[in-house]
Structure 1
Amino acid sequence: MADRVHPGGDSPPATAPPAAATTTAATNSPTKPSPPPGTYVVQIPKDQIYRYPPPENAKRYQKYSRKNRRSCSFCCCLCWILSLLFLLALLLAATAGVLYLVFRPKALDYAIESISIKKFNLNSTANPSQLTTTISPEFNVTVRAHNPNSKIGVYYRGGSSVAVSYAGAELCAGALPAFYQPAKNVTVFKTVMVGEGIRLSRDAYLGLMGQQRTGEIPLGLDLKVPVRVKFGSVKTWTLTVKVGCDVAVDKLGVDASVVSNKCRVRALPWKSI
């Protein structure tokens, strides 16, 4: 019996179905880039990822963390201090407002009632040909202090100063007495001021001589007095009252008369004598 031999072209290829399957799988699924040889890909859930600074930056991280903590502490402390200062300012403003409404404070009033001048004889001690003239005058000044307040008293304390000047040059200096001035009171006190070895320039000497002939010599009188103000039964801390007076006299003698005077008063909330 003869064997049947099938022609080669009629038998189906054995590898055709696997090739088709491979093509279908490549078409349906996206291609992923393959990692380079020698590497590993580890997948970790996001909730298990923790961040730590690398060892070379650990000291720098700690340094910045300490700085941030110190900065926060400083900011908190500064905010507390500013809040306390603001609260204190509000309390002081409220207290000042209450005191003003209750006591209605008024400024003190000062005036120069009389001036007696000794040892200021320009005719006998001065020489117009010289550039300077040396004098040692003595001033006896009477000051009138008026407290117009109805509920406020004033304690004049020690350590005051008073000076007389001409054209900006001080002629003599002294001090005021210490006393208490009650409300609605007028107090007249005297003070003696002495100058030693005062040198007058030639221009000042000639100016004094000319103004003495006209009968109006301008002088300046400055007072600095430490006081304590009494509001009812409460006394304040020591503050300074400054008084500046522009005074004019008719002559430089014992019987000199005050031609005009005008005083300005300024109170400072601290002691600066």
Structure 2
Amino acid sequence: MADHGLKKPPGFRDTTTPSKPPLGPKKPVVRKAIYQPKKERRNCCRGCCCCFTCFIFLFFLLIIAFFGIFYAWYQPKIPIFRFKPIEFNRFVVTPKSDGTAIINSQITFRVEVKNPNSNIKIYYGETKVSITADQETELGSASVPEFTQRIHNITLLKFTAGLDNRIVDSTVGIKLKERVKNKKVVLNAEVKTKIGIGVFNVKIGMLPVNVNCGGLSLKEINDGNSSPKCSFNTLRWYNYNSNF
């Protein structure tokens, strides 16, 4: 006869059998988000860059085309400067015992400015002219106020400059006095001004301009048989050399 075990009383717990841990709610698995740029945003930025590059390119093309058409239609020319006879109203050199000399002088000189353009007016700012003798002694400077030249206009500018008690080396002063007397002194002039152009009552500019002329003696300038060598410079990069 089989042996049936004793019935276990209510609430009996077998401590020899390992108990299973109570089932509870599972912890959520945290996954790191990986950022992936949207293709639409990338395409949008690329399109903007392309549009901006095309705009800049077209803008420069329009500027080049504008100046090309402007030059072909109007054919702008630089103004022409000519120096008229120079008068020494006074030139006194007084040697001193200390090896120096004092110069007192007054000269009158005229500059003829011509606008060779057929369709362009030229605007000038304040124009200053400085005269140098033998490339070492300044004889003075003078200026005239701003003015405007119409097409094919010729303007004669008159300047009066001088020296008051200018101290130089005695040898230089005596030599210069002799060369002025014999009209052998070589004179150089520097013109500083600002130039703008006018088309259809529209003023464009103004650009700083330097004109340097020289290499001729007083006799050659006053005889009018030769023209001094001149250089026309603006913005420190455009240079034009000619015998004006």
What TM-score results when the alignment is normalised by the length of structure 1?
0.58
Q: Is 1:118 aligned to 2:89, yes or no?
A: yes
Structure 1 residues 126 and 84 mapped into 2: Cα distance closer, same or farther (>3 Å)?
Answer: farther
Structure 1 residues 186 and 131 mapped into 2: Cα distance closer, same or farther (>3 Å)?
Answer: same
Q: Name the SS for the 2:228 alignment partner.
A: strand
Structure 1 residues 212 and 116 mapped into 2: Cα distance closer, same or farther (>3 Å)?
Answer: closer
Q: Deviations over 1:111-136 (max 9, x none)?
A: 111212233123xx235x65322223
Query: Once the 2 structures are TM-superposed, how far is the Cα of residue 203 of structure 1 from its aligned partner?
Result: 4.2
Please show how residues 187-206 of structure 1 align to structure 2 within 5 Å: 187-206=155-174
Report the AA paired with residue 160 of structure 1: T
Contact 2:142 2:159 in 1 (8 A): yes
Query: Once the 2 structures are TM-superposed, how far is the Cα of residue 177 of structure 1 from its aligned partner?
Result: 3.4
1:162 aligned residue (129, 132, 145): 129
1:95 aligned residue (66, 71, 84): 66
Structure 1 residues 78 and 137 mapped into 2: Cα distance closer, same or farther (>3 Å)?
Answer: farther
Matches of 1:207 and 1:81, distance apart in 2: 68
Q: What root-mean-square deviation, in Å, do the aligned CA atoms of Structure 1 and Structure 2 show? A: 3.7
Contact 1:114 1:143 in 2 (8 A): no
What TM-score results when the alignment is normalised by the length of structure 2?
0.64
Structure 2: which 5+ residue stretches go unaligned?
A: 1-30, 34-44, 237-244
Structure 1 residues 121 and 257 mapped into 2: Cα distance closer, same or farther (>3 Å)?
Answer: farther
Task: Give the structure with the higher percent helix.
Answer: 1
Matches of 2:122 and 2:210, distance apart in 1: 14
Aligned length: 194
Query: Once the 2 structures are TM-superposed, how far is the Cα of residue 151 of structure 1 from its aligned partner?
Result: 0.6
Please show how residues 1-273 of structure 1 align to structure 2 within 5 Å: 87-122=58-93, 125-127=94-96, 130-157=98-125, 159-166=126-133, 167-212=135-180, 214-246=182-214, 247-250=216-219, 257=222, 260-268=226-234
Report the AA paired with residue 98 of structure 1: I
Matches of 1:82 and 1:135, distance apart in 2: 64
Identity in percent = 23
Structure 1: which 5+ residue stretches go unaligned?
A: 1-49, 53-72
Report the AA paired with residue 107 of structure 1: I
Query: Once the 2 structures are TM-superposed, how far is the Cα of residue 185 of structure 1 from its aligned partner?
Result: 1.4
Query: Once the 2 structures are TM-superposed, how far is the Cα of residue 176 of structure 1 from its aligned partner?
Result: 2.1
Query: Once the 2 structures are TM-superposed, how far is the Cα of residue 95 of structure 1 from its aligned partner?
Result: 1.9
Partner of 2:242: none
